Amino acid sequence: MFMQREYEKIRRKRKISSYTNEEKELVNYIQQQTILANADNISRTHAYKEYYERNKEIRWSFLASMVSRNAGWNMTDLEGKYYPKVLSQEIRKQLFLTYERANWLIFLDAYPQLLLYEYSKRMKKPLFHLLQMFSVSVFMEGEWSRFWEQKKEERLMTALIINEQCTIQEPVIEHPFYQKHIFQTLMFKFQELFHFSAVIFPTIAGNLYGFSVHQFETLTKRIELGKQLAWLLFSPTYKELFDTFSSQTVHTGSRFDYEQYLNLSKEQDTPQLRDVFSVVSHHRKAEKDWFQSGVDVEELFLFEKPKEEVEITEWFLQKQKQLHFFASVQSFF
């Protein structure tokens, strides 16, 4: 109940807010920087990583960069050696636009938050009242204010995971177009049933870590996956390995980014992202705040360490072989 009262206070303040010329200029500058960095998957991935290098306490930005790499690899799969054999050009285009739309929306919402925090540090005062100028949820204004006072890095990272998934739930996951053409198709159900999708964190030693993706349409399942990935990424056992991979490996969108480190002889069978995809022009409709009065989010912060194995190199490569075999058989017939 305490947090609910705090959120309602923020909501009431938002209705009577006014801004100085200096604040308006800052908002305009952040909007411009966000548009530039939100051009495509490559620019987003780079922006997240660069931000984390400047602000190591904002762990979510490193998580976002590593998950964004996975989005790029999934995109270029669509124009690689195998997917064109089984999926029509129209379906591949729709799949690409689903990845692109979701990641564009998340960046559009999250990057202004990150930059406002950075400017708050620089000016030595919180500027989170400006978040409403970017249509950021009242939930995140409350969480950034809490972080400014309490400096609980893990709490903020989890809050950003919750927010990003809630941000795309209605405009992407529940949108009638994506439901009809993506999430309710046999192709999508088949991929989920046989666990062909996974989020992986590679290392330059050739090992892959991560988790299988299932029940992607379910909001709480995506949030849980995000928390598991955050736990893995910042685990003392593995964090340095992922840091090294990220620092030493330029993100091109091709799976060869990490396949080059694997202990096997493999040709590059997915292209670089900018060789096959043009920049997409997006528009954002005015959306109501996903966080409404009476929504209990505190239970979403709870976390239980995953019990499954996190080193998935052999499993993942086997799944890739199965998928490639299926594509080859489909192509033959």
170-208 tens-digit pLDDT: 999 999 988 988 888 877 776 665 556 899 999 999 999
pLDDT digits (tens, 9 = 90+) for 71-81: 999 999 999 99
Question: Residues 277, 218: contact at Cβ < 8 Å?
Answer: no
Q: Determine whether 249 is exposed, middle or buried from the number of CB atoms within 10 Å of its CB (0-12, 13-18, 19+).
A: middle
Domain boundaries, the chain: 2-332
Q: Measuring CA to CA, which residue among 210, 202, 213 is closest to residue 256?
A: 202
Residue type, 143: E
**Helix-helix angle 59-77:41-54, to 10 degrees:** 160
Q: Determine whether 175 is exposed, middle or buried from the number of CB atoms within 10 Å of its CB (0-12, 13-18, 19+).
A: middle
Instruction: Centre a 10 Å sphere on the Cβ of residue 259 and count the other Cβ atoms it contains.
Output: 19
Total-model pTM: 0.93
Of 197-211, 255-269, 316-330, least confident by mean pLDDT is 316-330
- What is the rounded CA–CA span in Å between residue 135 and residue 133? 6
- What is the rounded CA–CA span in Å between residue 160 and residue 153? 11
Of 36-50, 157-171, 222-236, 312-326, least confident by mean pLDDT is 312-326
- What is the rounded CA–CA span in Å between residue 332 and residue 326? 10
What is the percent of the chain with per-residue pLDDT over 90, rounded to a whole number? 75
Kindly report the CA angle at 232 between 226 and 235, in degrees rounded to 5? Answer: 135
pLDDT at 16: 61
- Give CA separation, 130 vs 32, 74, 113, 117, 172, in Å: 15, 35, 9, 11, 26
